[in-house]
Structure 1
Amino acid sequence: MSYAPHLHAARSAAEAASALIRKAYRGQFDVQLKADASPVTEVDIAAEKVIRQTLSAAFPDHAFYGEELGRGDTDAEYLWLIDPIDGTKAFVRGYPMFSVQIALMHRGELVLGVSCAPCWNGTGETAWAEKGQGAWLDGERIHVSEIDTLAKATLSTGNIATLAASADWAKLGALIPRLHRIRGYGDFLHYHLLASGRVDAVIESDLNILDIAALTVIVREAGGTLTELGGGAIGLDTTSVLATNGRLGVW
Structure 2
Amino acid sequence: MTCPVEFIDLAHRLADAAGEVIRPLFRQKLDIISKDDMSPVTIADRNAELAMRKIIEAEFPEHGIYGEEHGQVRTDADYVWVLDPIDGTHSFVSGLPTFATLIGLTYKGKPVMGVMDQPISNERWVGANGETTFNGNAVQCNAASTDMATASLFSWGIELLQSDRGSDYERLMKAAGRKRFGYDSYAYGSVALGFVDIVADFDMKPFDYCALVPIVENAGGVVSDWDGKPLMLDTPGYVLASANQDLHDQALSLLSGK
User: What is the CA-CA distance between 1:170 and the residue it aligns to?
Assistant: 3.4
Q: CA deviation at 1:2?
A: 4.2
Amino acid at match of 2:95: G
Residue 85 of structure 1 aligns to which amino acid in structure 2? Answer: I
Aligned equivalents of 1:56, 1:165: Cα separation in 2? 38
Q: Deviations over 1:70-90 (max 9, x none)?
A: 011221111110011111122
What SS does structure 2 have at the residue aligned with 1:190?
helix
Whole-Å separation in 2 of the counterparts to 1:176 and 1:37:
27
Contact kept, 8 Å, 1:163 with 1:205, in 2: the verdict is no
Q: How does 1:154-173 map to 2 (within 5 A)?
A: 154-159=152-157, 161-166=159-164, 168-173=165-170
Which residue in 2 is equivalent to 1:244? 242
What does residue 153 of structure 1 align with?
A: 151
Higher deviation after alignment, 31-40 or 77-86 = 31-40
Aligned residues of 1:10 and 1:55 also touching (Cα < 8 A): no
**8 Å contact from structure 2 (residues 152, 197) kept in 1:** yes
Q: If the length of structure 1 is used for normalisation, what is the TM-score?
A: 0.91
| Corresponding letter in the other structure for 1:115 | M
Identity %: 33
Displacement, 1:19?
1.6
Using the alignment, how far apart are the partners of 2:228 and 2:32 within structure 1? 37
Find the aligned partners of 2:125 and 2:157 in 1 and give their Cα distance: 22
- Unaligned stretches of 5+ residues in structure 1: none
Match of 1:215 among 205, 209, 212: 212
Partner of 2:61: 60
Deviations, residues 60-112 of structure 1 (Å, cap 9, x unaligned): 22111101110112211111100111111221222112111111111221111
Shift of 1:218: 0.4
Deviation at 1:185, TM superposition (A): 4.0
Give the whole-Å Cα distance in 2 for the aligned partners of 1:183 and 1:220.
22
Instruction: Find the aligned partners of 1:212 and 1:41 in 2 and give their Cα distance.
Output: 21
**Rounded Cα–Cα distance in structure 2 between residues aligned with 1:171 and 1:87:** 25
C-alpha root-mean-square deviation of aligned residues, in Å?
A: 1.7
State the alpha-carbon separation in 2 of the partners of residues 108 and 2 from structure 1: 14
What do the CA deviations read for 1:188-245 (whole angstroms, capped 9, x no partner)?
1110111111111111112211011101110010111111112222122311111112
Contact 1:153 1:179 in 2 (8 A): yes
| Structure 2: gaps spanning 5 or more residues | 253-258
Q: Report the alpha carbon displacement of residue 164 of structure 1 after superposing the two structures with TM.
A: 2.9
Alignment of 1:228 with 2:225, yes or no, is: yes
For residues 18 and 57 of structure 2, the distance between their equivalents in structure 1, rounded to whole angstroms, comes to 14
1:29 maps to 2:27: no
Structure-2 separation of matches of 1:89 and 1:172:
23
Question: Which amino acid is 1:114 matched to?
Answer: V
Q: Which residue of 2 aligns with 1:186?
A: 183
